Amino acid sequence: MLKYLSSFKSIVVIGLICLIPVVFSYGLSLKTLHASAWQMIQIKGETSFHLIQTMRLWNAGHGGVYALVTVQTPVNPYLNVPEREIETPSGKTLTVVNPAYMTRQLGERLKDTQVEIHLTSLKPLNPNNQPDSWEREALSSFEQGEQKRMILSNGVYRYMQPLKVEPACMECHQSQGYQVGDIRGGLSISFPSDDINELLAGLRAEIIWAHQIAYVLLLLIALLVQVLIHKLATKLQYAKSRQDELNTLASTDELTQLANRRHLLASFFERYQTVETQNLPFSVLMIDIDYFKMVNDRYGHQMGDQVLKRFANELMKNLRDHDLSGRYGGEEFMVALNANIALASTVAERIRQAAEEISFYAEEAFTISVSIGIAERRFNQPKGPEDLIRMSDEALYQAKARGRNRFCVATQNGSVIIND
């Protein structure tokens, strides 16, 4: 159950992590889409504006055009120019249609379509050209240098650009005090947002669909990567555990679980260099189980193995964690500790007593004893680590020669101090 919950939690975390770039991309895409929509509005507005402005300039360039006076095209009462109306030889009345009048009529024609145009000014000649609040604000901004203005209001996009006074405009607007280049008004173009919103909705749906697919693919890839990483980590962990096992086998005596001779000596030489550099006390204890061959011959090798294992266990109980110990060979053990002769002797006696207290039973109950030889670096002045081992081994030989179950300390002149 815990493994299932852990896996579920891992999937949730990966899902949330994968969601971050997708959400970021989605937000960025919507922002880009929104900007593109306004760019489309601007292009649409600019195109319409330039088309109408081109027609207006054409009209102004001809000084206005005459059109037949009809109900739809009455005489413009706000236009004060010479020959505003003329009569043809056939008796028909024509009136001047200037750019403003033409634009207003074009706006009337467009009312039935989805596009509306409105010619306006802060000082209009025709009251019908009065600006609304948004147009008034836009016109004020044009006089401050703004070039265009757009807005979405009540489902309608509105676009507006300023109209500047051209030389051809002076005939109609000179009386208002305008100069060529002045802002005399603006052209407002409105069109519904339905078509653009429909286009945006379709694009937005595609973006959502694309990001959903991207999220699923990203999540699948992330989960696949996690599985591969987990498998790799498991293999690495297994390889490490196997390597640790091999290292342990290579450095540990299989029977006693103490360091084997090779690993023991390698650690001893390394420790010796350290204490020699720092001039610290350093003692070696060589320990031999007394009459071990007799135990093997009398009680068998299995009991001999039990003796070795139980003594090794008692040996470890009487040492500190940082003391070196190991099986030197056969029934012989070696201990190296940062201690002077006095402390090493105390440890040796403790080990000797602990060995005596171990009870064994085969065909009969029996106990064991150990002999110990001690040598110390600063006391014995050895030539090197091998020499220190040799001195402790000679002291062990003397302890066995003098009755066993005791320890002897090597001296500087080659003799020993015997503990009875």
Active site residues: 331
Could you give the 3-state DSSP secondary structure of residue 172?
A: helix
Per the document, the length of the chain is: 420
CA-closest candidate to residue 19, choices 211, 261, 150:
211
Cα–Cα distance measured from residue 319 to residue 273, given in angstroms and rounded to the nearest whole number? 21
Distance CA 307, CA 300 (A): 11
Among 358, 352, 356, residue whose Cα is nearest residue 306: 358
Closest CA to 371 of 391, 398, 335: 398
Cα dihedral 24/25/30/32 (nearest 10): 110
Per DSSP, 255 falls in state T
Instruction: Measure the CA–CA gap between 68 and 259, rounded to whole angstroms.
Output: 120
Beta bridge partners, 335, equal: 285, 325
| Two tokens, residue 209 | 């669909």
Specify which residues 366 forms β-bridges with: 360
* Residue 72 DSSP class: S
